[in-house]
Amino acid sequence: MARLPIGQRVRDARNELGLTQLALAKSAGISPSYLNLIEHDKRLIGGALLGRIAKALEVSVDHLSGTDDPLLAQQMIDLVRSQALPDTDEKDALQLVGERPKWARNVIGLHHKYQEAAETAFALSDRLSQDPTLMELSHAMLTQITSIRSFAEILEEVADLEPEERLRFSSIIASQSDRLGSSAREMINLLSGPRNALNLTSPEKEVDDFIVWHGNHYPSLEDAAYQLHVRLSQKRNTLEGAITDILTGDHEITIRFVADAGQQERMNLVEKSLLLDETALDTTTRFQLARALVEIELADMIAEIADSERLTSEESRRRCRQALANYAAGALLFPYHEFLETAENQRYDIERLGLKFHGSFEQIAHRLVTLRRPGAEGVPFAFLRADPAGNLSKPFGIPGLPMPRFGGACPLWAIYIALSSRDRTISQMAVMPHGERFIFVARRLSKRAVGFGAPRTTYAVMLGCDATYSDRIIYGDSFVPGRISQENQVGFTCRSCPRERCAQRAQQSVRATPASTGPDQRARQGGEDVKS
């Protein structure tokens, strides 16, 4: 993470202890004038000096550096990137996190509320203009109001009405008023009706948020899956064979291979049956067996994790349990330490890892994203999946590289190139408008069509990591530092991208345009005022 301007934090902590600048400088082993520069954010510090100052101030390094809340800095950066905030850049965002973390949290909170409100408004307007029931109701109400108004005016303005006419028109007004009342009630019911009729945070998005909030790493599931793996390894069988043994032996599950398993309920615990697709690839079958086992063995743990207030509906919790079962199946088939060690040795070559661990490209890619155990972390990867229509799913961002949750990403990203590239893994050195560099690795995947004429399901998955990891991953080998021809100048989304002359521009940018966004400017931005 970028260094935050922490001058205010240092000053606050020093004042709390009642220390003078002189006293703090002395115990941190720096000159008072240098401390003054730090306290006024003229020097951004890290490393040993940060440690000495934290020690002298009796606070943790994390507290002082703002890394006790890394999400906050990330969220602020994402906010600046996605919104048109006049005269505000990422540096300003980090400054707010550093100096006024409470305010930064409030800004993020307000932004979330704004996003929810905007989505509500969009869904409502969409609904009002599309919903046939609403259209019909509003037409009926207008008709009723028209009759009521017309007859009321007749009663008021026509002096020579016959008594029976007067009676009839009054009764029409009364009956139309009743109908209007029930139409209005019907409309209110429709609009406020079942709580989730207008619930805009979809279960999919709630689960996406849940995964991001957990950093896509669940220590308890990892431990439990590992213990299960050890238990399976003690059987004299392949991993797959041992899983099948436990499923059919201990749990008395009948496994049946059928032609169209995808269309039916996969596992039925009442009937004790597991349906597998007879046409599925071996890697898929193996994964589904593992998932069936963890769904039984780790059911309580999975349910407990998914029993979160972040998930507001049963459907969200159900989807979350599915996601957690997939996670645990990955953890069972690709045990953390062995997988991490092999990944490091094989330099994160997804296809090689797939061969070694009998996993598909997507399974391996998913597992790589989960290697976040504190103290034994792999390369931090972002993840994204896209279909040919541009629908995005499973977004998981990393610091500096948020993954879009709505709409599209930059059309120049490798994930879109991969969609049109068959049987080839695409790697890309993606240079963002402000010079941040990421390596993207993407591949198109198709689910096999079964039978003549059946459509293939196609999508692409993408991993992204900071380019500083390029020597740890095989995909970094294609790029020679300094070879601009190998770099792709991309953005995050069109709306947030200042590259005015981009041929792929789909939407006008809403951002103030820096005069130049080339590598030179990056060097100026990055190097100048950072010292430790």
Q: Where do contacts with other proteins occur on this chain (CB under 8 A)? A: 138-139, 142-143, 145-151, 153-154, 157-158, 165, 172, 176
Residue 160 vs 309, nearer CB to other proteins: 160
- Min dist CB 161 to other proteins, Å, is 9
Distance, CA of 21 to CA of 453 (rounded, Å): 77
Distance, CA of 216 to CA of 222 (rounded, Å): 11
Residue 171 vs 446, nearer CB to other proteins: 171
- Min dist CB 150 to other proteins, Å, is 4
Residue 125 vs 238, nearer CB to other proteins: 125
322, amino acid identity: Q
Residue 142 vs 299, nearer CB to other proteins: 142
Residue 1 vs 145, nearer CB to other proteins: 145
Query: Order of strands, edge to edge, in the sheet holding 254-258?
Result: 254-258, 273-277, 267-268
Task: Report the b/e string of 228-265 with b at 16+ CB within 10 A.
Answer: bbeebeeeeeebbebbbebbeeeeebebeeeeebeeee
- Min dist CB 167 to other proteins, Å, is 14
- Min dist CB 147 to other proteins, Å, is 4
Sequence-separated contacts (24+) of 362-365 with Cβ below 8 Å: 362/445, 362/461, 363/283, 363/287, 363/330, 363/333, 363/334, 364/334, 365/461, 365/463
Residue at token pair 């998913």? 366
Residue 150 vs 312, nearer CB to other proteins: 150
SS3 content of the chain, % helix, strand, coil (to 5): 55, 10, 35
Distance, CA of 355 to CA of 352 (rounded, Å): 5
CA dihedral 460, 466, 471, 472 (to 10 degrees): -70
35 phi/psi in degrees, rounded to 5: -60, -40
Residue 85 vs 134, nearer CB to other proteins: 134
- Min dist CB 198 to other proteins, Å, is 24
- Min dist CB 273 to other proteins, Å, is 50
132, amino acid identity: P
- Min dist CB 143 to other proteins, Å, is 5
